[in-house]
Amino acid sequence: MLTPHRKFPRPCPQARKQGENVDLIDNISILHKELLKWYGWGYKDSMFKLHEGKTMFTGNRYLIGGKFLPHFIEWAKENFNIDITKPPKIPQIPTSYAENRLPANIKKELENIALVSVDGLDRLIRAHGQTLKDMTLLRTNSFPRIPDAVIWPESHDQVVQIVQCASRNNFVIIPFGGGTSVSGAITCPANETRPIVALDTSDMNSILWIDKEQLLARIQAGIVGQDLEREMRARGFTVGHEPDSYEFSTLGGWVATRASGMKKNTYGNIEELIVHTTMVTPIGVMEKSCRVPRISCGPEWEHVVLGSEGCLGVVTEVTLKIRPLPPVVRYGSLVFPDWEAGFHFEREVARQRLQPSSIRLIDNEQFRFGYAVKTETSWGGVALEGLKKFYITKIKGFDPAKLCVVTLLIEGTADQVTDREKKLNAIAAAFNGVPGGATNGEVGYTLTFVIAYIRDLALEYDVVAESFETSVSWERAAALCRNTKRRVRDECARRRLTHYLISCRLTQTYDAGCCIYFYFGFNSSECSDAVTVYEEIEEAAREEILANGGSISHHHGVGKLRKKWYKQTVSEPGVKLLLAAKKTLDPQNIFALSNMAFNEYTLEDTVRSKL
């Protein structure tokens, strides 16, 4: 499925010097044009497609591939009133592109460092992330600005040379990893007059060394999550970081956004996995002189790198913790009569610190969606079958229009997994929950990587949809979910939108709170300028989230979409501190992405107005 790109990666000199147990692994490069869609999510051969009045998922990369979904169209009609008689709106590859502004002398200088392209499609592919607005502009080839060139460095040293070239010639660099950003972070600032070069890290994808004794690995930042995990598993290890985007997102992107993975309960969020980072800035390379588990040396500057969203430099290499593969992986599911029961179960599990590797609570809307993606051969979403359905709905008396499901992923030794499962079932029983079976749990997690493809089908039939997330304390979480859903419904009613869906799931748990995901979509044929309408409603939802004690983001980041709330989140002194770091590390504003507190004016004007 992945095309190998073989070379001899450079070993880490420090590792050689210290006599560590070093394994060198050849690069694995995903060829974007060859494998991935240019206009949407994922692989070219994988998509939801209507065929003779039925929906099917194409390709063979996923378990759902090649199978029909007999209930999907009924669900789509019920919720969005789609007209399947209309021809799908599938975009064609553009025949013209925005003007290339890169001077010939700069292009030649860059070509002496690494591979460079000014091809229109290469530039367009790296002009965006995966927001609804990105997809709409991409399908209509109407970005106000795209990169003028793309460059593919293969090493830290080449990145240093590229950044030095940018400083000499005063052009903009936008770091590009997997292109999965959902915050507008990598879109080009429309008013930028300087040349813009997208620095694509996909050729920086080597595992430089693995230390099996210290359980550490040094890895180039452009490696894609699924490649990293596959190579680690082949050697008996795991990183354990699996965000929903991990098929396509990169290690550098995880660092730049402070990412979270579904198994963080066992392995930690990205900030807990990192031991050492190397970032190239316009004034030099930023890294610690030692690689130790913890250091007390004033403020932790590594946390300036984490979440910097490409605005301060390029992350080139990262040292991560790794763990031996767990001997047992077991899926499970629990069914509850309603959201409140499932929520209080999750709260009690967190209180007792009994979280398995992953534990997710999905609401009734998502439960019913699970039935919609069930296949003819019974593989598919979370659904209740036969005697189990009879027991839950008839004997237990659960209302199918209210019940909710918790999916579980438990890892460890056989004894540990069995013991954890028994304890979780006992807590569930106290909240009137009943086991829903391992299959429902497994397909629920497998479906995670397929759901993202649905938006492309939705856009083909005039449905716009997106997700947004937050973190919140336990005491305010239930009200936040309830009030945010109500606010979205009110906003839809005010705009006379009648065919829409708002749902949520609780995806991560902590001692002090949880992460909540919302999914919202509507039939855009009911309004003009659907993207603007969607953004207005999502903005209202975010205001409601903040009013109910939620955060600006749990793991998606700020980017350009949520920058209006940055100051109220971190305070005026926090903004000034960020701007001071920017002025110090990037005085020419080479990394002019305009994320977070930064705007599209020159850095000097920005700093002068704030400091």
The set of catalytic residues is: 517
Per the DSSP assignment, residues forming a β-bridge with 55 are 50, 69
Angle value at C-alpha 378, between 374 and 382, nearest 5 degrees: 50
Order of strands across the sheet that contains 513-523: 434-435, 328-336, 404-412, 358-362, 500-509, 513-523, 463-473
Is 248 annotated for ligand binding?
yes
Ligand-binding site membership of 469 (annotated): no
Q: Is 448 annotated as a binding residue?
A: no
Measure CA 102 to chain center: 31
177 is in an annotated binding site: yes
Q: 291 labelled as ligand-binding?
A: no
Q: Is 315 marked as a binding-site residue?
A: yes
Tokens found for residue 444? 């629920």
Question: Is 500 marked as a binding-site residue?
Answer: no
Residue 259 counted as an annotated binding residue: yes
Q: Does 244 count as an annotated binding residue?
A: yes
Q: Is 250 annotated as a binding residue?
A: yes
Q: Is the dihedral of CA 83, 85, 91, 95 positive or negative?
A: negative
Taking each continuous run of H as one helix and of E as one strand, the counts in the chain are 24, 21
State the angle between helix axes of 156-169 and 104-111 in degrees (0 to 180), rounded to the nearest 10.
160
Residue 178 marked ligand-binding: yes
Which of 342, 478, 332 has the alpha carbon at shortest distance from 403? Answer: 342
CA triplet 338, 340, 341: central angle to 5 degrees? 70
180 is annotated as contributing to ligand binding: yes
Q: Which DSSP symbol is given to 392?
A: I
- Specify the residue for token string 């449905």: 463
- CA dihedral sign of residues 594, 153, 260, 436: positive
Establish whether 257 is an annotated binding residue: yes
Distance of CA 438 to the CA centre of its chain: 26
Q: Is 249 annotated as a binding residue?
A: yes
Q: Is position 246 annotated in a ligand binding site?
A: yes
67 vs 56: CA distance, rounded Å: 6
Residue pair 409/263 in contact (Cβ under 8 Å)? The answer is yes
65 is in an annotated binding site: no
Binding residues: 175-181, 244-250, 257-260, 309-315, 455
Annotated binding residues for substrate, written as ranges, equal 455
Annotated binding site for FAD: 175-181, 244-250, 257-260, 309-315
